[in-house]
């Protein structure tokens, strides 16, 4: 319980939005420093060295940071300026509508909010403005009756840049210590009018508007017109960034409050940087990485960071993921020959690539294609978090996959309008799949083979057709994350750590919520409670399976999973009167036909579609065909089937892993997905690659 409390305190302390603006001030993470430190480095350290949170130093730093943020929230005016992003309604209705931003500092305000966003930085291009709301079609920013929310299709979309006309109103206070000049740099698509104190200002079209001011407190109230695609609004004080050079607040502040805003902007960054440095030092002292390991890490991280900047279409960059294998050629001391050592050698370079890939998107929103799946999830997330439809979630029955819309909304709370959070989330999700492969293979093949399995998973993904899916705004990688966490929790639970097995049940339910076609996999995931000694030859041997299972862990997993599935069906019953997992979903639309009638079992056409569906998953290609980049996936599925058929050597593979590998393609017997090549195989890749690597271990043992 103490670990859990301090883990929560850690997450809250570093991410809670700061009332005093400054570097590392919490959500939204809209700077590259916040991406690197708050979104990547600290979570990675928490996994690698969680024991640090039990030290006095860590707890004191977190307590002080929490106390500072709570005290500032209670006593101080919000820093920054109030921004209101306005869009025109359809010409027939006229008027403007307020576009609410994904800003954690304003999101809990009642509708309509007084501020759609807190302005704490300059904007030099259209996608840096708090204009995510452009993605929401006309009418979908208002509360809708439940009956009209089942399918949000074919709305009247907003004009997209450069066709639209928008407004951005900015109001707030400015406190300065001496005489100087407040100026606003603009661009050709921008016009500005308003007042500073009682002095009217106007201009635009690329001109810089300058206002001389005396020392003291001043009020700024400007209306900014935005047309075309060349937007810029850069407020400066004496030529420097106004939000760094002066005290900016929503309302005027004086005395101690002004001093607190001026000095306090450095309190959070000092505490966070101290926490980060102390955490790294503690990890170095505990694990003592050698010079060779640090050199390999630095080399791999540099190559991977370059790969992240080279783009999804660069073959050389995708091949660069192979640099993760640098950890295979260095001597790793015993103190690092475990999962945390693998996380260090594989995770650090991988996250360096994710950081480089995500950096250009920080602080910028994405304009989604109308009707595209990512835009649909975004609209649902808006309905949940902005309008409070927490249970309904945009659809009374889930034609679209359920959970990702809630995940998408949570990511926006952390990262603001920017979709950079989806890149970070997907990066950790794929890394979790690689760590699953390591944990399984390490148990029988040793550390180096386990590390090779983790690298093989990430290299298979980077070379395959699904590489572009990182940050694409789809649900498949999220499902892979939950499946990997459930699998690792079941393996770690054993016979004694039953709470971990119950946690695996939670992750299993979340995997189903995220991708409903994973139900067969989730139901058979309990096979991982079988001990490794129970091999594929034991299929059908009830006594051996019963004796080799961690029965208490399996019971805990299935009890929690059953509760999760029942809760989902109860929600469907609440809205439709049908206690069902699949009522109102796209199951009927995507079904292949097998099992829908007695005649379907004898239909050649149905079986042809079924085989093509399974092969699409196994080959990671659509339409299915052999591709050398997916050879470990094809081999893993084939070896799993061969093991259950008691083919020599393959029959010595662990029964649990082979069953789960085949269960991961079982959904293809019922439904077939389409669009976005490779997306439907993502959950299979870590499992199939693991089986292939286990086969290499068995062959090595046979030749020994």
CA distance 420 to 34: 12
Q: What is the mean pLDDT of the chain?
A: 91
List, as one string, the DSSP characters of 279-309.
HHHHHHHHH---HHHHHHHHHHHHHHHHHHH
Reported as half-sphere exposure (CB side, CA atoms, 13 A), residue 700 has a value of 10
- Which residue's structure tokens are 């009756």? 145
Q: Are 173 and 155 in contact (CB under 8 A)?
A: no
Distances in Å between the Cα of 619 and the Cα atoms of 625, 628, 680 are 6, 9, 11
- What do you get for the CA distance between the two ends of the chain, in Å? 47
Q: Are 249 and 175 in contact (CB under 8 A)?
A: yes
Distances in Å between the Cα of 79 and the Cα atoms of 28, 115, 437, 522, 663 are 14, 13, 46, 47, 53
CA distance 95 to 130: 20
**Nearest C-alpha neighbor of 402 from the set 574, 585, 253:** 585
What is the per-residue pLDDT for 91?
Answer: 67
What is the per-residue pLDDT for 1?
Answer: 66
- Which residue's structure tokens are 């469907």? 572
With a cut of 50, which residues of the chain have pLDDT below it?
A: 144-154
Q: Are 258 and 75 in contact (CB under 8 A)?
A: no
What is the per-residue pLDDT for 149?
Answer: 42
Q: What is the CA radius of gyration of the chain?
A: 27
Q: What pLDDT, in 10s, does the model give residues 139-181?
A: 666 554 444 444 444 456 777 788 888 999 999 999 999 999 9
Question: What does the CA dihedral 401, 403, 408, 409 come to, rounded to 10 degrees?
Answer: 130
Sequence-ordered list of residues with C-beta below 8 angstroms from that of 638, at least 6 positions apart, any chain:
none
Long-range contacts of 622-628 (CB under 8 A, 24+ apart): 622/674, 622/677, 622/678, 622/680, 627/464
Sequence-ordered list of residues with C-beta below 8 angstroms from that of 595, at least 6 positions apart, any chain:
601, 670
Q: Are 346 and 324 in contact (CB under 8 A)?
A: yes
**Residue 607: helix, strand or coil by DSSP?**
helix
How much of the chain is in helix, strand and coil states, percent to nearest 5?
A: 55, 10, 30
Residue 440: φ, ψ to 5°: -70, -50
Structure tokens at 214: 């005396």
Q: Is the peptide bond before 673 cis (omega within 30 degrees of 0)?
A: no
Q: What pLDDT, in 10s, does the model give residues 265-289?
A: 999 999 999 999 999 999 999 999 9
**Residue 174: helix, strand or coil by DSSP?**
strand
CA distance 541 to 343: 37
Structure tokens at 500: 């971990």
Structure tokens at 57: 């130093």
Beta-sheet pairing, 247-249 with 165-176:
antiparallel
Q: What pLDDT, in 10s, does the model give residues 346-359?
A: 999 999 999 999 99
Residue spans of the domains in the chain: they are 1-76+262-287, 81-252, 419-703
Q: Are 172 and 120 in contact (CB under 8 A)?
A: no
What is the per-residue pLDDT for 152?
Answer: 43
- Quickly count: other Cβ atoms within 10 Å of residue 664's Cβ: 27
CA distance 453 to 450: 5
CA distance 28 to 33: 12
CA distance 149 to 405: 15
Q: Any bridge partners for residue 98, and if so which?
A: 86
**550 alpha carbon, distance to own chain's centre:** 32
Residue 82: φ, ψ to 5°: -85, 125
What DSSP character marks residue 148? G
What is the per-residue pLDDT for 153?
Answer: 47
Residues in the chain: 704
CA distance 592 to 668: 9
Give the DSSP H/E element, type plus range, for residue 211: strand 208-213
Structure tokens at 319: 């091949």
């Amino acid at each position: 319980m103490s670990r859990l409390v301090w883990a929560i305190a850690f997450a809250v302390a570093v991410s809670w939005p700061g009332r005093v603006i400054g570097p590392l001030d919490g959500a939204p993470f809209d700077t590259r420093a916040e991406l690197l430190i708050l979104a990547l480095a600290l979570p990675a350290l928490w996994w690698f060295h969680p024991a640090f949170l039990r030290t006095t130093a860590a707890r004191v730093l977190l307590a002080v940071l929490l106390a500072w943020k709570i005290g500032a929230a209670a006593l101080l005016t919000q820093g920054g300026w109030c921004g209101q992003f306005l869009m025109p309604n359809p010409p027939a209705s006229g008027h403007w509508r307020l576009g609410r931003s994904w800003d954690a500092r304003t999101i809990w305000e009642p509708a309509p909010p007084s501020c759609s966003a807190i302005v704490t930085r300059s904007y030099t291009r259209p996608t840096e403005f708090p204009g995510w709301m452009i993605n929401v079609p006309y009418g979908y920013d208002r509360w809708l009756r439940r009956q009209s929310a089942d399918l949000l299709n074919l709305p009247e979309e907003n004009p997209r840049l450069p066709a639209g006309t928008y407004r951005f109103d900015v109001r707030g206070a400015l406190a300065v210590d001496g005489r100087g000049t407040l100026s606003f740099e603009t661009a050709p698509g921008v016009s500005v009018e308003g007042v500073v104190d009682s002095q009217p200002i106007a201009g635009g079209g690329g001109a810089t508007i300058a206002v001389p001011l005396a020392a003291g407190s001043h009020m700024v109230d400007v209306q900014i017109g935005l047309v075309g695609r060349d937007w810029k609004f850069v407020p400066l004080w004496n030529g420097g960034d106004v939000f760094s050079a002066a005290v900016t607040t929503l309302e005027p502040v004086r005395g101690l409050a002004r001093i607190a805003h001026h000095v306090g902007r450095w309190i959070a960054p000092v505490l966070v940087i101290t926490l980060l440095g102390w955490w790294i030092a503690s990890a170095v002292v505990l694990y003592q990485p050698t010079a060779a390991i640090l050199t390999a890490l630095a080399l791999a991280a540099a190559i991977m960071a370059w790969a992240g900047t080279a783009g999804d279409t660069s073959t050389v960059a995708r091949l660069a993921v192979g640099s993760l294998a640098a950890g295979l050629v260095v001597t790793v001391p015993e103190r690092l020959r475990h999962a945390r050592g693998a996380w260090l050698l594989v995770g650090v370079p991988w996250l360096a690539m994710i950081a480089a890939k995500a950096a250009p998107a920080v602080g910028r929103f994405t304009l989604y294609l109308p009707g595209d799946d990512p835009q649909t999830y975004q609209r649902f997330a808006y309905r949940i978090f902005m309008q409070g439809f927490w249970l309904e979630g945009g659809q009374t029955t889930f034609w679209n996959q359920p959970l990702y819309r809630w995940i998408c909304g949570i990511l926006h709370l952390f990262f603001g309008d920017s979709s950079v959070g989806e890149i970070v989330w997907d990066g950790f999700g794929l890394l979790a799949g690689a760590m699953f492969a390591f944990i399984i293979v390490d148990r029988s093949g040793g550390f180096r083979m386990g590390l090779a399995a983790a690298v093989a998973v990430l290299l298979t993904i980077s070379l395959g057709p699904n590489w572009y899916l990182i940050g694409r705004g789809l649900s498949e990688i999220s499902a892979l994350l939950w499946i990997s966490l459930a699998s690792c929790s079941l393996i770690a639970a054993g016979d004694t750590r039953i709470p971990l097995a119950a946690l695996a049940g939670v992750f299993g339910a979340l995997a189903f919520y995220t991708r409903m076609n994973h139900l067969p996999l989730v139901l058979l995931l309990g096979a991982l409670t079988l001990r490794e000694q129970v091999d594929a030859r034991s299929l059908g041997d009830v006594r051996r399976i019963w004796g080799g299972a961690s029965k208490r862990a399996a019971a805990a997993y299935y009890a929690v999973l059953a509760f999760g599935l029942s809760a989902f069906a109860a929600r469907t019953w609440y809205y439709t009167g049908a206690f069902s997992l699949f009522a109102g979903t796209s199951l009927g639309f995507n079904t292949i036909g097998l099992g829908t009638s007695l005649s379907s079992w004898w239909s050649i056409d149905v079986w042809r579609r079924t085989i093509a569906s399974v092969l699409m998953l196994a080959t990671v290609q659509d339409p299915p065909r052999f591709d050398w980049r997916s050879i470990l996936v094809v081999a893993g599925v084939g070896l799993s089937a061969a093991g259950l058929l008691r083919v020599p050597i393959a029959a010595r593979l662990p029964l649990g892993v082979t069953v789960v590998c085949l269960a991961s393609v079982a959904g293809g017997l019922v439904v077939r997905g389409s669009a976005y090549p490779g997306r439907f195989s993502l959950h299979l890749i870590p499992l199939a690659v693991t089986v292939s690597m286990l086969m290499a271990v068995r062959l090595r043992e046979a030749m020994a």
